[in-house]
Amino acid sequence: MERPLTKHIKPGSVSLNMKDYIQLGGYGNLQKALKNIAPAEVTALVKASNLLGRGGAGFPTGVKWSLIPMDGDKSTPKYLVCNADEMEPGTFKDRYLLEGNPHQLIEGMIISAYAIQAGKAYIFLRWAYKKAEKILREAIADAYKSGYLGKNILGSGFNLDLYVHSSAGRYMCGEETALLNSLEGKRAMPRTKPPFPAISGLFGRPTVVNNVETLSWISHIVEHGAEWFKGLSLTPTGGTKLFGVSGRVKNPGTWELPLGISMRELLEEHAGGMTPGHKFRGALPGGASTDFLIEDHLDVKLDFSTVAAAGSRLGTGTMIVLDDKTCPVAFIHNVEKFFALESCGWCTPCREGLPWVEKMLASIEEGTGKMEYLDLLNFNAKFMGPGNTFCAHAPGAAEPLQSGLKYFHDDFVKHITDKKCPWR
Amino acid sequence: MLTEEEKKEIQEEIKQYPYPAVACIDALKIVQNHRGWVSDESVRDIAQLLSISNEEVDSVATFYSRIYRKPVGRNVILICDSVSCMILGYESLYNYISKKIGVSFGGTTSDGRFTLLPISCLGDCDNAPVMMINNDHFNRLTIEKIDELLDRYK
Amino acid sequence: MSMVKITIDGKQYEVKPGKNLLETCLSLGIDIPHFCFHPALGSVGACRLCAVKKFRDKDDTRGRIVMSCMEPVTEGLIVSVEDSEARAFRTSVLESLMTNHPHDCPVCDEGGECHLQDMTVMTGHNYRRFDFPKRTYNNQDLGPFISHEMNRCIQCYRCVRFYRDYAGGRDLNVYASRNHVYFGRYEDGTLENEFSGNLVEVCPTGVFTDKTLKNHFTRKWDLSNAPSVCVHCSLGCNTIASERYGSLRRIMSRYNGAVNGYFLCDRGRFGYEFVNDEKRIKTVQIRLHKNDIKVEQVENSQFSSTFDKLFSKDKFIYGIGSPRASVESNFALMSLVGKENFFHGISQKEYSLTKTISEYLLQSGIRTPSLKQVEKADAILVLGEDLINTAPMIALALRQAVRNISYNEASEKGIPVWNDAPVRELAQDKKNPLFIATLFSDSLDEIAEEFFRSSPKEIAKLGFAVAKVLDDKAPDVKIENSYLTRIAGEIAHSLKNASHPLIISGISYGDESIVHAALNIATALRSAGSNVMLNMVLPESNSMGLSLLPGKPLENALVSVEDKEIDTLIILENDLYRRISEDSVNTLFKKSRQILVLDHLVNKTTQKADLLLPAATFAGSEGTLVNNEGRAQRYYKAIDIKDQLKESWRWIDEFIKIRNESQTVRWNRLDDIVESLSDELAVFSKLKKYTPDADFRMLNAKISRQTIRYSGRTAMNANIAVSEPELSQDRDSPLTFSMEGQQENPPSSLVPFYWTPGWNSVQAMYNYLDEPDGSMKGGDPGIRLIEPVEGAKNSYFSPGSLDVETKEDKWIIVPVYQIFGSDELSSVSSSVMQRIDEPFVIMNQADADIISAADGEYSQLEILQNKLKVKIKIDNSIVAGFAGLSANLPGMPFVNMPCKGKFHKL
Ligand SMILES: Cc1cc2nc3c(=O)[nH]c(=O)nc-3n(C[C@H](O)[C@H](O)[C@H](O)COP(=O)(O)O)c2cc1C
Ligand code: SF4
Ligand code: FES
């Protein structure tokens, strides 16, 4: 089984430095791209590979790049932004790549910037990732020293400056347009789409925003080609994916596995199954903003479309497991409280719906809930649904809520009728 | 008044950008780095330096959760209260720390040594429960480790 | 423009492309609830209230929810507003917005005209399911104009979008996030922006309300309203004036698509309180003996004997008109005294500058733009006028004008103009070129491509230089300054290449060379084939109207009498002490046996009157004002004047009767005098036809000033008499002081308030417009008296001498007008008073050092026989040797600026 993204990541989160990276052939693909492949061809290659964005939404990366105007005025700046905000509860895959193999990302970014002819690139890094910040800054400095960044990279005439921007803390910064506002020194409010960032992004100029994992793939795709990439997955999606499992499992962690492995395999073979004395009740398969899957779904194959067909989303691929010793109401309350706190306050359903949901869940958990709340929770979940809100934050929050209400209905009812939490 | 050093660092950031206001978040972070938090006076100073209004600076400052507009202690303890850490029992960790230092979430000890705050998911869920003290990250925490840990921060 | 076909709820419509679905529906009369969309501010999609169902094609039965404000109207669009899911969603939006709302309508000033109330009813939300405590906020003190009650906020973001994005204000913003967002200032304090009052109308609920209304609060439905026109500067913004119990309760903006659109400046909105002032003259008063201060009230029965003495045929009478009185009143006075003896009531300088302008405009081929056209300009030169203080709404229009450069690029990228945030993001700091040449910096600088700071003469020089670059036939000026040469070239280049170039200037610096230079630029551009627009700011609400009448400057009254004595000097709504020096006024008064003054408020001139007559204010009379565009606009009575109060022209009509017994035509009503005026003076010939006369009826009814919900008519005066008073008849207009009458869609110039079923808030306006942000149905009110003349040929003004000498210890004192304080009437409003500065002088640091004064210190300014205590304000934008003196503040003597001045230590 191939693990292109992580095979060189050393155990114990020791970062792969420049020297070692180069020894392993690092930056060779950059040379290859700059010398032999025209920018548009890089985009075509990525498009052919069908690399789906790893930030959660699974949008085809090549398609995103191809929206960037390439024939326009040369003096119009363009930007590439790496989304390394990773603030979704239960998500910890980008950190692994950032700390473990920073040059893989940097090389990927340089090639990507070349493909869209961006002159400036930013890594928008989560505030809390202090170690990653240090590692990245050093890695970037090294890359500058070796001529992989800056003016006239490797004599190709291509210039690129790469900056790390460490955030000031807010989940909303991960939403790609809010991220752009934040980079502009503003409140991280999401922007209207359309226009998409490819048309009007950072400072109103064409911009591509991609996830860390997405960008980390680019040099590999340049090296091995689209067909190779497609062949990595078990289902037609293409590629491997970083999967993670947290919660009461024997062996929580992150693994690079082919897309299309089953949920059962991930849980049992890699995460080692539940910790003794605990039973599996369900899981959010791809971070806090995805719908619950339950035991019935254990054989669902983990790729974007199959998980969607099962009524959830692959999201970030990092699974949070709910066990029988954890109160599902408390679990959902915790998640919704997070979303309520992180709402940006722009659109009504999210700003007003989430606190209402949070209050009802708290009340149910405390034993003061009313039966009507169940309807009202469902009502709010629908109210915050896709299309009703300005961005995907509230619809994301609605997912664990609506599915939790469905799958753990009896637990909710018991809280209300017993006027207490059975787990307390 | 901003110190010369703060000013220099902020000016350095401004250079990167098409106009000074873009450096607003950076400026807030720089000031907080030096002083632990951002006072009303600092908001005014930053506004002046960036040629924007106090309102514009504070609008940004109050949006971001890691900009502190109220004083904090010398050390800020951030306990992850998100779902994976909840499952793995951040609450008992919190209760222990809270009792030990005598303040709850949002509080600062009377000697100014610690401020205790919740933080959402720190991206280390497979090693829950997790917390940060200042810029240092700690995982797989148990109550037993806490005493020794806190001792390191004076 | 080819129309597109769309389907709304199964019905086909042909509509204009390029709009969003919400505004399209609103102009079709289909009410879609909404909050965050505002026609002048565009769409941002925040509130989610305007949801409708959109269907992919005919076969799509499920459809999906979209926000109509964000949905471009395109060929074949199929939507449903009535769809049950869309309706339910809109109700949910309301329900959730109301979870934290205090439900304090009974004590809320917005109640009864609240957009939030309208939307609650329109969506049908009526049952509260949220059973947790509400979130609460602290409020701020925002100064004398605006009250703040944050708990009522529904987070539509309209306030910050208007205040910051539209009006350029910096001291209001949004703080925090999630359901804790807060809209306010950084700390308590007065909102500084000159357009803050619009928050009252822009905010859909009671967060920002009119603080001045609070002092005499009345519900919208209890107000009696009239279409009115602002009297506080020369732009003529349209207003709605509202009355209860005989006092003026508030001023709101009245939509005029060609003038002020949706907005007003704070002087226009809050300056009204003078109407209710205690010092209002309400009775006829006579001075018993010339030197006796004692005045006595005159009973109605004594009028004829009193007036007979003054106006008998043998009397030598002089009439002094006023730029703040209506065209009709001035005309009446002129008719009384004859053209020869009629004086405009303004100084020689103001007179000749204004005349230069009006004559130029009347004879030139150059168009004076409406404010709406100012917004469309794509290259602008402001030559020597401090707009934010003398013509605030032009400043607001310029903020929009510099933006429209981004519209083309946005369209190319497929971003519609109404999609506000992306258009701004795309534009970044790209702006249409705006050049400002003024004496000192102001808030418009930030949107200027370049500004030029110098003395009035240098500014004029720049203007002449620009004209010269544009047309070699323009007169030459000597320029030693290479910067000036460069910038003149740049300005000329920008103006010449623009498709809608605009020159803005005015007379407030009191320098004729600036006016000449501005006119020369216009002439030069026109001879270069450009479609130039010229906007000349004048000092007062009827400066232009007055200028179109025959008559002479005030000083001429003095000169022409010489050793004669005037039997009766009649002064129309004018404090002459604000016009010329005190000595001159006193001399004039000494030569007058009897001084008759018609005015509203006690001032220095009224104190000299032998006979003082109470003249109705704009709020108690009908009349016409001509704005600086040359647009004549009628204002109507909001207050039914009683007792001895009368319109000035009515008083004068009585005198005419005495003076000229044979005169058969009497001016029984306003239409009569308008007809005389139209017939007699060609410039005013269009006046009699542009607005319906007093006989106009709709369905046999007059138009009601009051809403159908007007309450208390039978009880209002119960403390005086229990029987219902007789309804007063308004013979001058087709409006009635009653709720009985025509309520719906009167002619555009006669709209007293906005109301349509379902819309109690100002948004009811949609039904009065052909489309949001468009024109009033039936055309915008007002008639342009000045139109470009085909094939006109203009000649150039010669620059004359533009040299100035400055001396070591003497400064050239230039006037600094203030939005709050320099205008006579608004300065009497208690709220405005709180915003008026004490007399000050601005000068640069080096000059202040010479007189060893520090910022904020007081100094004595010796200027033309006056000694003034002034506060020194350091402003390094003003050039050395020049100092700006706050002009015309209450209590300050008249100073004919620019002039020399000296400073002394106090
Ligand atoms: C509320 C919210 C938070 C998000 N946070 C992140 C994040 O932390 N990291 C990330 O890569 N994408 C995040 N996304 C998704 C981004 O908007 C965007 O889709 C992604 O960065 C695109 O990268 P990709 O195409 O490589 O997947 C978030 C989206 C939403 C709505
Ligand atoms: S769903 Fe609405 S309020 Fe929530 S984060 Fe997105 S835009 Fe902001
Ligand atoms: S009016 Fe459309 S979302 Fe507010």
- Ligand 2 atom at shortest distance from the alpha carbon of A389: 1
- The 10s digit of each residue's pLDDT in C808-842 is 678 999 999 999 999 999 999 999 999 999 999 99
* H/E element, C271: none
- Asked, for residue B68, whether it belongs to a domain, the answer is no
Which mutation among A339, A344, A383 tests ligand 2's pocket best, with the greatest number of atoms within 8 A of CB? A344
C371 lies in the same domain as C486: yes
Residues of chain A with C-beta less than 8 angstroms from the C-beta of B17: 185
Residues of chain A with C-beta less than 8 angstroms from the C-beta of B132: 128
Pocket lining: A389 vs ligand 2, CB cutoff 6 Å: yes
CA distance B29 to B61: 9
Q: Among residues B16, B39, B63, which one ends one of the domains? A: B63
Interface check for C89 against chain A (CB to CB < 8 A): the answer is: yes
What's the per-residue H, E or C state across C448-503?
Answer: CCEEEECCHHHHHHHHHHHHHHHCCCCCCCCCCCHHHHHHHHHHHHHHHHCCCEEE
In contact, C587 and C558? CB cutoff 8 Å:
yes
The answer for residues whose C-beta is within 8 angstroms of residue C215's C-beta and 6 or more apart is none
Q: Among residues C224, C259, C276, which one ends one of the domains? A: C276
Phi, psi of C174, rounded to the nearest 5 degrees:
-105, 140
Q: Which residue has the higher pLDDT, C82 or C802?
A: C82
- Ligand 3 atom at shortest distance from the alpha carbon of A347: 3
* Beta carbons within 10 angstroms of residue C723's beta carbon: 9
Of these ranges, A132-141, C639-648, C859-868, the one predicted with the greatest mean pLDDT is A132-141
- Asked, for residue C324, whether it belongs to a domain, the answer is yes
Q: Is A403 exposed, middle or buried (0-12, 13-18, 19+ CB in 10 A)?
A: buried
Q: Is pLDDT of B86 > 90?
A: yes
Q: Is pLDDT of C309 > 70?
A: yes
Sheet strands side by side (includes C623-626): C623-626, C631-635, C783-784
Q: Which residue has the higher pLDDT, A76 or C618?
A: C618
B100 lies in the same domain as B124: yes
**Residue B150: pLDDT band by 50, 70, 90 thresholds?**
very high
C544-566: average pLDDT: 91
Which of the ligands is closest to the CA of residue A92?
A: 1
Q: Is pLDDT of C317 > 80?
A: yes
pLDDT recorded at residue C790? 86
Asked if B28 and A168 come within 8 Å (Cβ–Cβ), the reply is yes
pLDDT recorded at residue C69? 98
pLDDT recorded at residue C808? 66
CA distance C546 to C350: 12
Chain centre distance of CA C27: 26
From ligand 2's centre to the CA of C686, what distance in Å? 55
- Asked, for residue C789, whether it belongs to a domain, the answer is no
Instruction: Give residue C310's region: left, alpha or beta (phi > 0; psi -120 to 50).
Output: alpha
B26 lies in the same domain as B79: no
Which of the ligands is closest to the CA of residue C36?
A: 3
pLDDT recorded at residue C319? 97
- The total of structural domains in chain B comes to 2
Distance from CA of A322 to the nearest CA of B (A): 8
Residues of chain C with C-beta less than 8 angstroms from the C-beta of B63: 175-177
* H/E element, C694: none
Among all chains, which residue has been given the structure tokens 């042909």? C14
Residues of chain A with C-beta less than 8 angstroms from the C-beta of C428: 203-204
Residue of B nearest to A250 (CA): B126
- The total of structural domains in chain C comes to 5
pLDDT recorded at residue C137? 97
From ligand 1's centre to the CA of C598, what distance in Å? 72
CATH number at residue C735: 3.40.50.740
B86 lies in the same domain as B58: no
Residue of C nearest to B41 (CA): C186
CATH number at residue C491: 3.40.228.10
B94 lies in the same domain as B130: yes
CA distance A286 to A88: 10
C522 lies in the same domain as C554: no
B112 lies in the same domain as B88: yes
pLDDT recorded at residue A71? 84
B10 lies in the same domain as B55: yes
Interface check for A1 against chain B (CB to CB < 8 A): the answer is: no
In contact, A60 and A52? CB cutoff 8 Å:
yes
CA distance C392 to C835: 16
Fold (topology level) of A328-418: de novo design (two linked rop proteins) (1.20.1440)
Which of the ligands is closest to the CA of residue A389?
A: 2
Q: Which residues pair with A243 in a beta bridge?
A: A255
Tokens, residue C56: 């992919």
Q: Is pLDDT of A202 > 70?
A: yes
Which mutation among A85, A177, A351, A383 tests ligand 2's pocket best, with the greatest number of atoms within 8 A of CB? A351
Q: A240-323 belongs to which CATH class?
A: alpha beta
B34 lies in the same domain as B97: no
Average pLDDT over chain A, rounded to whole?
A: 96
**Residue B16: pLDDT band by 50, 70, 90 thresholds?**
confident
Average pLDDT over chain C, rounded to whole?
A: 94
In contact, A216 and A89? CB cutoff 8 Å:
no
Asked if C177 and B53 come within 8 Å (Cβ–Cβ), the reply is no
* Beta carbons within 10 angstroms of residue C445's beta carbon: 15
B52 lies in the same domain as B80: no
| Strand pairing class (C11-15; B114-119) | unpaired
pLDDT recorded at residue C51? 98
Q: Which residues pair with B108 in a beta bridge?
A: B115
Asked if C173 and B58 come within 8 Å (Cβ–Cβ), the reply is yes
Q: Which residue has the higher pLDDT, C805 or C378?
A: C378
C341 lies in the same domain as C369: no
Tokens, residue C183: 């809209």
Residues of chain B with C-beta less than 8 angstroms from the C-beta of C174: 59
Ligand 1 binding pocket, CB closer than 6 Å: A 53-57, 59, 61, 83, 85-88, 171-172, 174-176, 209-211, 214, 391-393, 396
pLDDT recorded at residue C303? 86
- The 10s digit of each residue's pLDDT in A18-51 is 999 999 999 999 999 999 999 999 999 999 999 9
CATH number at residue B136: 3.40.30.10
**Residue C104: pLDDT band by 50, 70, 90 thresholds?**
very high
Q: Is pLDDT of C608 > 80?
A: yes
In contact, C827 and C890? CB cutoff 8 Å:
yes
Residue-number span of the structural domain to which C56 is assigned: 4-98
CATH number at residue B15: 1.10.10
Q: What percent of chain C has pLDDT over 90?
A: 88
Q: Which residue has the higher pLDDT, C803 or C37?
A: C37
pLDDT recorded at residue C146? 98
B58 lies in the same domain as B93: no
**Residue C731: pLDDT band by 50, 70, 90 thresholds?**
very high
Nearest to A396 by CA among A359, A361, A360, A344: A344
C-alpha torsion sign, points C389, C393, C396, C398: negative
- The 10s digit of each residue's pLDDT in C644-679 is 999 999 999 999 988 887 666 689 999 999 999 999
Nearest to C144 by CA among C834, C837, C819, C889: C834
**Residue C306: pLDDT band by 50, 70, 90 thresholds?**
confident
* Domain residue spans of chain A: 13-231, 240-323, 328-418
Nearest to C489 by CA among C398, C381, C395, C378: C381
Residue-number span of the structural domain to which B118 is assigned: 75-151
In contact, C504 and C537? CB cutoff 8 Å:
yes
Interface-testing mutation among B22, B43, B55, with chain C (most C C-beta atoms within 10 A) = B55
What is the CATH number that goes with domain A13-231? 3.40.50.11540
- Asked, for residue B69, whether it belongs to a domain, the answer is no
- The 10s digit of each residue's pLDDT in C379-419 is 999 999 999 999 999 999 999 999 999 998 899 999 999 99
- Asked, for residue B127, whether it belongs to a domain, the answer is yes
In contact, A91 and A319? CB cutoff 8 Å:
no
pLDDT recorded at residue C517? 97
Q: Is pLDDT of C293 > 80?
A: no
B22 lies in the same domain as B42: yes
In this structure, which residue's CA is closest to atom 8 in ligand 1?
Answer: A86
Distance from CA of B60 to the nearest CA of C (A): 7
- The 10s digit of each residue's pLDDT in C753-785 is 999 999 999 999 999 999 999 999 999 999 999
B13 lies in the same domain as B81: no
C337 lies in the same domain as C360: no
CA distance A228 to A240: 11
pLDDT recorded at residue C800? 86
CA distance A44 to A226: 10
pLDDT recorded at residue C755? 95
- The 10s digit of each residue's pLDDT in C458-476 is 999 999 999 999 999 999 9
A240-265: average pLDDT: 96
Which mutation among C21, C23, C50, C97 tests ligand 3's pocket best, with the greatest number of atoms within 8 A of CB? C50
